[in-house]
Amino acid sequence: MIVDSHVHYGKSLWGDFSPEYLLEIIDSSVDFAICSNLEGIDSPDFKSEDVCNLEMIEVSKKYPKLKPLYVCQPNLSDSVETARIFLEKYPEIIGLKIHPECMKLPADSEKYDKYLELAREFKKPCLYHSGHIKSRFSSPELIYKKAQEFPDVPIILGHLSTGPKQAHVRAIEILLDSIENERATLYVDTSWIDFIGEKLNETYDDTLMLIESLKNTSKGDYTSRILWASDCPVGCFNQDRESYRRNLEIFKAKVMEKFQDKALLENILINNAKNLYRF
């Protein structure tokens, strides 16, 4: 079994991605994929919170391989009543999806607080798009600042940081600080970390640096905080079955070559996501 912890469907500025198109790409490579609807995030046919999330629920019922995330739109409303209704009515929602960059809403804004309070109440992890370390909307620095206000809510740094190595190094420092000083419950997914200009760095250097760092914290092994993910079908390297499968196989080979630890690899590919999202 393998879990892809970050995928999407929907009409987007990146392309028009039907659920069937997504499933054709991931195919038999993975058993479950944690999914959100791009039409509530980044779309020429932008949809409101209630509409985009109801469509996500319907898609997940049709295709149980897709585990739904609830897309949050705190930039558009001060009320979380819609989100509360969905979380009460649809227990299959396994977490919240927050994209500060697309909303142009800094990740440390108080507008996120009510959603994070709901996440705490319903025990749902929050997957954030974490952008470049210098982004004024989605920097891991800003996400960490807000995470410290909700230290018991698991918050996932999607992509670690969409920047070069120095951005990844700083994001890893943030993860380590959160662990070693018990300031927040931060996780990280591996999507885009070793892709530069949509070309894979096949050494997976930065991902291996991340694993090595969390394996050797002052508090012990915290690789349980790492989730394998692709962000499929965003990015040309995620838009055909063979590329997707090849990228996954290279990832598996590089982790085994470096650490010689099958249990570590299985945890990153499967168990960490299942334990976090409880499915």
Instruction: Please state, in angstroms and rounded to a whole number, the distance separating the CA atoms of residues 98 and 194.
Output: 22
Cβ atoms within 10 Å, residue 30: 22
> Tens digit of pLDDT per residue, the chain (279 long)?
999 999 999 998 888 999 999 999 999 999 999 999 999 999 888 999 999 999 999 999 999 999 999 999 999 999 999 999 999 999 999 999 999 999 999 999 999 999 999 999 999 999 999 999 999 999 999 999 999 999 999 999 999 999 899 999 999 999 999 999 999 999 999 999 998 777 888 899 999 999 999 999 999 999 999 999 999 999 878 889 999 999 999 999 999 999 999 999 999 999 999 999 999
Q: Which residues pair with 34 in a beta bridge?
A: 67
**pLDDT the model gives residue 13:** 85
Find, among 80, 132, 74, the residue nearest to 98 by Cα.
74
How does pLDDT run across 144-197, given as a tens digit for each residue? 999 999 999 999 999 999 989 999 999 999 999 999 999 999 999 999 999 877
Cα–Cα distances (Å) from 137 to 78, 99, 143, 175, 263, in that order, read: 18, 9, 9, 19, 36
pTM: 0.97
